[in-house]
Amino acid sequence: MERPLTENIRPGEPPLGLREYVERGGYEGLRLALQRTPLEIQREVTESGLRGRGGAGFPTGQKWSFVPMGPDARRPKYLVVNGDEMEPGTMKDRLLLEGDPHALIESTIIASYAIEADAAYIFLRWEYSTAAERLKAALAEAYDAGYVGRAIMGSGYSLEVHLHRSAGRYMCGEESGLLNALEGKRAIPRSKPPFPQAVGLWGQPTVVQNVETICNLRHIIRHGAEWFKGLSLTGEGGTKLYGASGKVRHPGVWELPLGTPLGELLHDHAGGMLPGHRFRGLLPGGASTAFMTPDHLDVAMDFTAPQRVGTRLGTGTMIVLDDRTCPVGLMHNLLRFFARESCGYCTPCREGLPWVARTLAAIEAGDGRESDLDILDHHVRMIRAGHTFCPLAPGAMAPLESALVHFRQDFEQHIRMGACPWR
């Protein structure tokens, strides 16, 4: 099984320095890319079927196709690497950021070249300080070696790559909130349209791409679109970093073919549940996805199959719920997070999420009332995509909505007993 994204990563050891990285074929993708035109690269990426790994799964080549290209295009243009990774339960980008910084830098340059960007920003979550140090060191090496900067590798292409450490907010991961944060403004989202490809960083054409998405690029350039497509089990192309947290035997992150079935992830890679714990359900791709249950173990974890059972691949890193953990408590934990991270711009999220979080806290604390379930149902019904300004709040409702379906009896029991049965 090929594991291109993690091939250089040696857990517990520092990442490859520039020399070792180059010895292992590093910057070969960049060299090849610079021999082709940006539009050729775009075409290659479109053909590969690469879809965004940041949670939304938008086809990358298609995203690039909206960038104005050629000599008359508005300049400067920007590429932004989204390394904010604050989705609860998600730690896949961290592996790449800490494990193989040169791979990210090389692919960033390729992506920038493909959209003719003049500068690239790597927007990094504040807490990722190890990643920051390693990226800084790698970037310095890359500058020294002429992979970044003026006339890269003797080509006519120049690019500045900046590392920006976020001040820290979940909303900074949402691409337009990220752009505002990068501009030094409040990290509130922007209305779309216009999309960043037209009006992005400092009002200029911009592409925002997830770390994992980016890291695929050097391999696509080296090995071609067909090779990439062949990596996955289903037709969507590539590998995916999957992960698991919760009461499983081996929590972790693994690079596996895209489309690996859920059961295989849970049993073969996460090692099944810890002894004495029964599997009740899981949030497949971070906190803002809906529950999958024991009925769903044979769902192929690609972008389309989970949608058929009412959920999303999301970030591909699952949070596993067992029978010794209170689902109401889990929901309270998550909703408290979402309420805290609401940017406060639109009403349903700013006022609705804290209300939900308080209601869950009351239920969990034994102060639940019959009418509280109506309040929760009401919010799940009212806070939907399109009802709010950005996807944060609908994302926050996804786990709750499914929890109210799959674990309703647990909520009712809390209210009936006036206490949490797990305490």
Partner 1 sequence: MPRITINNQVHDIPWEGRNLLEVCLDLGYDVPYFCWHPAMHSVGACRQCAVKQFRDEHDTQGRIVMACMTPATDGTIISTDDPEAVAFRRSVAEWLMVNHPHDCPVCDEGGECHLQDMTVMAGHNYRRYRFTKRTFRNQDLGPFLNHEMNRCIQCYRCTRFYRGYAGGRDFEVLGWHDHVYFGRAADGPLESEFSGNLVEVCPTGVFTDKTLKEHYTRKWDLQTAPSICVHCGLGCNIIAGERYGVLRCIRSRYNDQVNGYFLCDRGRFGYGFVNDEERIRQPLIRNERGELEPCTIEEALWKTSSILRHGRAIGIGSPRASLEANFSLRYLVGEENFHHGMSGRSYQLVREMLAILQQGPAPAASMSAVAQGDAALLLGEDVTNVAPMLGLALRQNILRQPTREALRLPIHEYEDSAIHEAIQVGRGPLYIATPDVTRLDEETPNTYRAAPQDIARFGFAVAHAIDPAAPEVTALPAAVQETAARCAQDLLTSLHPVIVSGFTCGHPDVIHAAANVAWALRRRGKPADLCFTVPECNSLGVALLGGESLNAALQAVRDGTADTVVILENDIIRQMDVDLAEELLERAQHVIVLDHLPSPTTDYADIVLPAATFAESQGTLVNNEGRAQRFLPVFVPQGDVRDSWRWLGDIMVMNGQRGCETWCHLTGVMRLMAETVPALTGVTEITPPPDFRLVGQKIPRQPHRYSGRTAIHADRTVHEPRPPEEVDAPLAYSMEGYPGQPPASLIPRFWAPGWNSGQAVNRYQSHIGGPLKGDSGGVRLIEPPPEAAITYFDHIPDAFVPREDALLVMPDYLIFGSEPLSARSPAIAARTPRPYLGLAPKDMERLGAEEGQVVALLVTGTCYHLPVVARPALPRGVAMLPAGLGNMVALGLPQWGHIEVKREVWD
Nearest to 38 by CA among 113, 120, 108: 113
Using the rule CB under 6 A, is 213 a contact of ligand FMN? yes
Among 136, 350, 358, 378, binds ligand SF4 (CB under 6 A): 350
- Which 129-168 residues touch ligand SF4, going by CB under 6 A? none
Cis-peptide, bond into residue 4, ω within 30° of zero:
no
Nearer to partner 1, 136 or 387 (CB): 387
CA 328 and chain centroid, separation: 25
Nearer to ligand FMN, 382 or 385 (CB): 385
| Cβ-based neighbour number of residue 386 at 10 Å | 7
- H/E stretch holding 134: helix 129-144
Using the rule CB under 6 A, is 343 a contact of ligand SF4? yes
Using the rule CB under 6 A, is 218 a contact of ligand FMN? no
Using the rule CB under 8 A, is 173 a contact of partner 1? no
Using the rule CB under 6 A, is 42 a contact of ligand FMN? no
Q: Which one of 108-116, 224-232, 387-395, 415-423 is the stretch in contact with ligand SF4 (CB under 6 A)?
A: 387-395
Amino acid identity for residue 54 in this structure? G
Using CA atoms, how far residue 380 sits from 42, 112, 386, in Å, is: 40, 40, 13
Nearer to ligand SF4, 128 or 389 (CB): 389
Q: Which one of 85-93, 318-326, 340-348, 360-368 is the stretch in contact with ligand SF4 (CB under 6 A)?
A: 340-348
CB of 286 to ligand SF4, least distance (A): 15
Among 86, 356, 363, 403, binds ligand FMN (CB under 6 A): 86
* 171-206 core/surface letters (b: 16 or more CB in 10 A; e: else): bbbbbbbbbbbbeeeebbbbeeeebbbbbbbeebbb
Using the rule CB under 8 A, is 191 a contact of partner 1? yes
CB of 190 to ligand SF4, least distance (A): 10
CA 17 and chain centroid, separation: 26
Q: Where are the alpha helices (DSSP H) in 342-391?
A: 347-364, 370-382
Among 173, 205, 246, 261, binds ligand FMN (CB under 6 A): 173
Nearest to 373 by CA among 337, 419, 408, 326: 408
Residues of the shown chain interacting with ligand SF4 in the complex, contacts defined by CB under 6 A:
171, 189, 342-346, 349-350, 388-390, 392-393
